């Protein structure tokens, strides 16, 4: 199954093993995947590396 054909939640579970997004991760990923310029400031441990990794799939 291609990533583009699965929901964000399915991709989260299949590729990363998590059941839910942390904080605003889902909103940020949706913004990036819709092609919008997105500026995000997150605290250490806020999940910014995950957001970048998910986007690359």
Structure tokens at 57: 């799939």
Output the pLDDT for position 49. 73
Is 57's pLDDT higher than 70? no
3-state SS string for the chain: CCHHHCCHHHHHHHHHCCCCCCCCHHHHHHHHHCCCCCCCCCCCCCCHHHHHHHHHC
| pLDDT tens digits, one per residue of 6-41 | 788 888 888 888 898 888 888 888 898 888 998 888
Output the pLDDT for position 10. 87
pTM: 0.69
Which position has the higher pLDDT, 56 or 21?
21
Output the pLDDT for position 15. 83
């Amino acid at each position: 199954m291609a990533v583009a054909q699965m929901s964000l939640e399915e991709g989260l579970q299949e590729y990363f093993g998590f059941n839910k997004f942390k904080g605003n991760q889902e909103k940020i990923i949706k913004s990036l995947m819709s092609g919008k310029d997105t500026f995000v400031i997150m605290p250490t441990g806020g999940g910014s590396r995950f957001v970048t990794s998910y986007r690359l799939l």
